[in-house]
């Protein structure tokens, strides 16, 4: 069949439009991936970029490229950088909350529960873990837009409640003074366990140092065997 005739038939049957649609898909969402999978890929890519470069230095087109889609296509899933940042941090805190909630759901004393929590979160700590909570950027966004990021504050409260309950148990056991403020002490315990450990791990990034860091923390908290 002559090439001109073939082209005419393509135009007549509308196959050119079909080819154009396929090309558009390739520029946007990868073939075979649904919207949910693309959204998840964007969140995972966002976590990586925000961890490595901070909030201010990340561009949406960089995240899109890592997720395997075109830059403009990202707006089919997230309206802004803030919205994607919120989704990434929310995803991370939800995973963290599940880990610590499951860790304290064991029989035993408050020391047993805290030690089990520390054991479970050990793999989530340190600069190589990719689980640094992007803490400074979160605080900054909460300060600038408290209403827009209220959901993060609520999730943070759920995290804090786990540590506050441990403090309450320690008070009931007579291991901590009765006039200790549970809310403040619980928040301090969470800060030490998360931000404190990550800070120390930053200066001691070798993987073999993490067990040493966690053991030192248990001794400071008085829960070491």
pLDDT of residue 214 exceeding 50: yes
The residue among 118 and 53 whose pLDDT is bigger is 118
d(CA 168, CA 183): 9
pLDDT score, position 19: 38
What tokens appear for 68 in the block? 């395997």
CATH of segment(s) 33-79: 1.10.10.60
pLDDT score, position 29: 52
- Span 122-146, pLDDT tens digits: 877 655 454 454 566 777 777 888 8
151 touches 90 (CB < 8 A): yes
The residue among 110 and 27 whose pLDDT is bigger is 110
- Read off the pLDDT band of 34 (50, 70, 90): confident
CATH of segment(s) 88-225: 1.10.357
Provide the whole-model pTM: 0.76
94 touches 52 (CB < 8 A): no
The residue among 96 and 22 whose pLDDT is bigger is 96
What tokens appear for 20 in the block? 């154009």
pLDDT score, position 168: 97
- Span 174-209, pLDDT tens digits: 999 999 999 999 999 999 998 888 888 888 988 899
CB atoms within 10 A of CB 61: 12
Identify the weakest region by mean pLDDT among 50-54, 152-156, 203-207. 50-54
Enumerate the domain spans of the chain. Answer: 33-79, 88-225
Identify the weakest region by mean pLDDT among 9-13, 66-70, 135-139, 168-172. 9-13
């Amino acid at each position: 069949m002559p090439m001109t005739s073939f082209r005419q038939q393509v135009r007549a049957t509308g196959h050119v439009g079909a080819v154009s649609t396929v090309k558009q898909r390739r520029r946007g969402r990868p073939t075979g991936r649904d919207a949910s999978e693309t959204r998840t890929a964007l969140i995972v890519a966002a976590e990586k970029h925000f961890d490595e470069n901070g909030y201010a230095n990340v561009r949406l087109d960089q995240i899109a490229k890592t997720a395997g889609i075109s830059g403009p296509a990202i707006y089919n899933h997230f309206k802004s950088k803030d919205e994607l940042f919120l989704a990434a941090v929310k995803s991370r805190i939800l995973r963290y909350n599940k880990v610590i909630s499951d860790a304290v759901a064991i029989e035993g004393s408050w020391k047993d529960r805290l030690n089990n929590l520390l054991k479970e979160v050990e793999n989530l700590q340190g600069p190589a873990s990719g689980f640094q909570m992007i803490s400074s950027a979160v605080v900054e966004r909460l300060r600038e837009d408290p209403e827009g990021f209220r959901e993060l504050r609520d999730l943070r409260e759920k995290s804090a409640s786990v540590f506050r309950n441990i403090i309450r148990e320690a008070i009931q056991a007579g291991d901590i003074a009765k006039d200790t403020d549970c809310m403040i002490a619980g928040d301090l315990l969470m800060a030490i366990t998360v931000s404190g450990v990550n800070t120390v791990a930053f200066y001691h990034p070798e993987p073999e140092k993490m067990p040493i860091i966690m053991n030192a923390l248990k001794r400071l908290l008085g829960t070491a065997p």
